[in-house]
Amino acid sequence: MSPRRPASQDLTLEMILQAAQNQFLENDYSHVSMRSIAKELGCSHGALYHHFKNKAELFYAIVEQDFRKLDLLTNQTLLEDGTKKKKLSLIFLRFIQFGLDNQSSYEIMFMYRSEEVNSLAKEVAYLSYKNFADTVGSLCEGHIRIKDIWSTFLSLHGFVSHYCGYPRVDSFADVKEVAEAHVEFLLKIYES
């Protein structure tokens, strides 16, 4: 009655994600093709479609892990030593750092408009923003409006999305000073 179970899998989900991840470090979404991944794995590109519905879903699987990493980064900062202002500043700065040290991922997480996986994508992105907003909110205790947290996020996003993929900006280190100035700029609002 029962059909055969899982069975042999020469090509595992992990292997595919790993190969995609590899190429994702060097090239962005549009420059990593299903064929280039298949080539690295030594299989036909059609085989990938047995494991993922389409290209968008494959890359979204990668990106889901990154959302968790980002959340963790924020939550850990909240628990560190230091004044509330210092923590706030670090949360903002680390958001920028995350974005610029994971540019390909950031692009899909917050910039790419997928069409195919948008319902899933938006859900996860929303939860991650909520985590950010709750954390920031808890460090302000009513001194700040919900609207302003959203504006802060958009301002950080503006920084990252501008420098993301910008020539000669390969990592956070390349824009550290400007990033610190931007965070300082945003913190002025939290002082008033």
Partner DNA sequence: AAATAAATTGACCATTGGTTAGTTAATGAT
Partner DNA sequence: ATCATTAACTAACCAATGGTCAATTTATTT
Residue 173 DSSP code: G
Kindly report each contact of residues 21-24 with a partner whose C-beta sits within 8 Å and lies 24 or more positions away, as own/partner.
21/62, 24/59, 24/62, 24/104, 24/105
Give the per-residue contact string, 135-154, with its own copies (x = CB under 8 A; - = no).
Answer: ------------xx-xxx-x
Contact between residue 114 and residue 30 where contact means Cβ atoms under 8 Å apart = no
| Chain contacts with DNA (rule: CB under 7 A) | 1-11, 32-36, 42-47, 49-51, 53-56, 116
57 vs 101 by CB, closer to DNA = 57
Kindly report each contact of residues 160-165 with a partner whose C-beta sits within 8 Å and lies 24 or more positions away, as own/partner.
160/95, 160/96, 160/99, 160/100, 160/106, 160/110, 161/99, 161/110, 161/111, 163/100, 164/99, 164/100, 164/103, 164/106, 164/107, 164/111, 165/28, 165/103, 165/107
Q: How far is the CB of 44 from its own copies (least distance, A)?
A: 27
Interacting partner of 148 out of its own copies, DNA, none (Cβ under 5 to 8 A depending on kind)? its own copies
Give the per-residue contact string, 75-114, with its own copies (x = CB under 8 A; - = no).
Answer: -----------------------------------xx-x-
Q: How far is the CB of 142 from its own copies (least distance, A)?
A: 16
Euclidean distance between CA atoms 20 and 45, whole angstroms:
12
Interacting partner of 188 out of its own copies, DNA, none (Cβ under 5 to 8 A depending on kind)? its own copies
Q: If binding is defined by CB under 8 A, does position 192 make contact with its own copies?
A: yes
- At 59 the three-state DSSP class reads helix
Residues from 109 through 138 that contact its own copies (CB under 8 A)? 110-111, 113, 118
Q: If binding is defined by CB under 8 A, does position 33 make contact with its own copies?
A: no
> Which residues contact its own copies by CB under 8 A?
110-111, 113, 118, 147-148, 150-152, 154-159, 161-162, 165-167, 178, 181-182, 185-186, 188-189, 191-192
